Amino acid sequence: MDMDPWETQDREDLAEIYYDQPTQAKNRTLEEENQRLKRLLRENGISWSPISTAYIDQQLRTRSGRITRRSTAAASTLPYLPVEVLLRVLTYAVTSDYPIIDPLCKLRPENITSKEKHRGNQLAIHFLVTCKAMHTEGTRLLWSQNTFTFTRPENLRSFAQLDASFRKTIRHINLRIIVQFYDDRKRTHLLDRHYHSSLRKAVNLPIKTRINEETYARGGFRVYSWSQIVDFLQALRAPWDPKHDKKVVRPRLLPNLETMRMDLVNFGEEILPMFGHELHNMASHELGCSLNELHVTGLPVDDPGLKASSELTGLLKDEGLYLTAIPSYVQSRRGGLIPLPGGPCTHRTVRAWKPLHKNHHLHSHTDEDSEMTDSDLLDEIMDHHHSHGPSMPPAPAETGHPKSTPRRKDKTIWRRVPVSRDSDTRKWVEFCRISGLPVENIKRMVHGEEFEDMDDDDYCACCGSLHPGGGLDFFMDDDM
């Protein structure tokens, strides 16, 4: 059924979230109290389990006499392993080959694929309880050597329970943002098969049925989509810490986050409403210029999707890399996620024109050269936003790239981009600083190739249109 939904977060889901918050806080309090009681019992030689009894007896025997090599060898029949070997074993035990989904939270079957559900444990977490040294070193390795995927904003927000010293080591996260659909009437809503080329027919959307209330509360067909992205970004704000010095700015949830991937699920075209200014406020202001690379999959190519793409680039630092690709998953009425085959990425750099902008203002203009140049227009159009804000550092330059031709040495920038959506293999790509597009795409436009033969990479990821004047004049006279 075709009808326009309206954007909101469901009241039932909010009630569940509010119910779980005090429960989690109470569990933390009980756990801390339990640890204090165990410490008191252990210090006074009182056991609470057979394991603790054996441990206390061993400690008493050790304290009763002088420790020598002979007594140590006689007491232990286990082989001795060097510390280096133990650390390698520990690293292998607490490192997963796959991203850890929703750490510190309970998994929801509808937010994972069947393969992820039957994958089993990827960590030998029991290594951490063998001794204090293993716990200290293993915990550090656990949070620094793994990548993490979050499927709900509250799961990311609960990550604040982790000590700040561990959160500082995390430099990349995955956000799996799944549209939630609600309706108080029994109706069928479909996701068009053009959502992905592998779909043979339209997909029945999973609808959460709600009771039709006889109140003035807005009902009908509603979605939780764009505002869910805002909630995810809000979860990255600085968490509350009562021990933090009030004279110092509180660090964000992940203060050293450098790269992020957003997998948008069921963000179909022409079914989601336009959003307000909240996304711009979070992406361009509160979290603006904080990432070196952003990879977004599943953005719809319609007015809301193109606007969201433009807003999300505010998360990137100057000269940062912005990647978009086709959807990675689809969620059907049967429950669970279905992975979709990948393909090439569309890539461009963000605000890489600023070095040219600075060099342009170093040269004075004469009265004869009063005509506005392309660089002047660029300054007028692109430098109006955050003109009075702080000077943020650009994304770090990557070394080891091929050399540019002398004529376009300062007009381009090199970045390593993935060869496909889900590949870890990367290749060097040269980008035009003015337009942000790959130089190879601009070459085809300069040499007069027909537009219908161009790839999707030739189109602007913000507005979906070609920009013939965006940087072409920089290459018309060059030996390409």
* Listed residue (352, 366, 477, 340) closest to 421, CA to CA: 340
In 101-134, which positions are buried (b, 16+ CB within 10 angstroms) versus exposed (e)? bbbebeeeeebbbeebeeeeeeeeeebbeeeeeb
Q: pTM surpassing 0.85?
A: no
- Listed in sequence order, the residues at least 6 apart from 469 whose beta carbon sits closer than 8 Å to its beta carbon are 374
Q: Are 101 and 151 in contact (CB under 8 A)?
A: yes
Would you give per-residue pLDDT tens digits along the chain (480 residues)? 556 675 766 666 766 766 666 666 777 788 888 888 888 887 787 777 776 677 667 766 665 555 555 555 555 566 778 889 989 999 999 999 999 999 988 899 999 999 999 987 788 888 888 888 888 999 999 999 999 999 999 999 999 989 999 999 999 999 999 999 999 888 888 999 999 999 999 999 999 888 887 777 777 889 999 999 999 999 999 988 888 888 889 999 999 999 999 999 999 998 999 999 999 999 999 999 999 999 999 999 999 999 999 999 999 999 999 999 999 999 988 878 999 999 999 999 999 988 776 665 545 444 444 454 444 444 444 444 555 567 788 999 999 999 988 888 788 999 999 999 999 999 999 999 998 999 988 877 666 554 444 444 444 444 444 444 444 454 444 444
- Listed by start position, the domains of the chain span 81-342, 354-364+372-384+393-474
d(CA 405, CA 480): 8
Q: Is 207 helix (H, G, I), strand (E, B) or coil?
A: strand
d(CA 29, CA 318): 44
DSSP state letter for 438:
B
The two counts, helices (H) then strands (E), for the chain are 14, 17
Residue 427 φ/ψ, nearest 5 degrees: -135, 160
d(CA 234, CA 249): 17
DSSP state letter for 263:
E
d(CA 15, CA 35): 31
Q: Is 436 helix (H, G, I), strand (E, B) or coil?
A: coil
d(CA 1, CA 174): 33
15's tokens: 């009630």
DSSP state letter for 429:
E
Q: What is the DSSP string of 291-339?
A: EEEEEEE---SSHHHHHHHHHHGGGEEEEEEEEEES-SEEE-TTSSEEE
Q: Are 342 and 326 in contact (CB under 8 A)?
A: yes
133's tokens: 């040294």
- Listed in sequence order, the residues at least 6 apart from 350 whose beta carbon sits closer than 8 Å to its beta carbon are 313, 316, 317, 318, 319, 320, 321, 322, 436
CA 147 to chain centre: 10
Question: Angle at which helices 132-144 and 83-93 pack, to 10 degrees?
Answer: 50
Q: Give me the residues paired with residue 295 across strands.
A: 261, 323
68's tokens: 């020598």
d(CA 428, CA 168): 29
d(CA 262, CA 173): 9
CA angle (435 as vertex; 474, 477 as ends), nearest 5: 15
d(CA 431, CA 347): 9
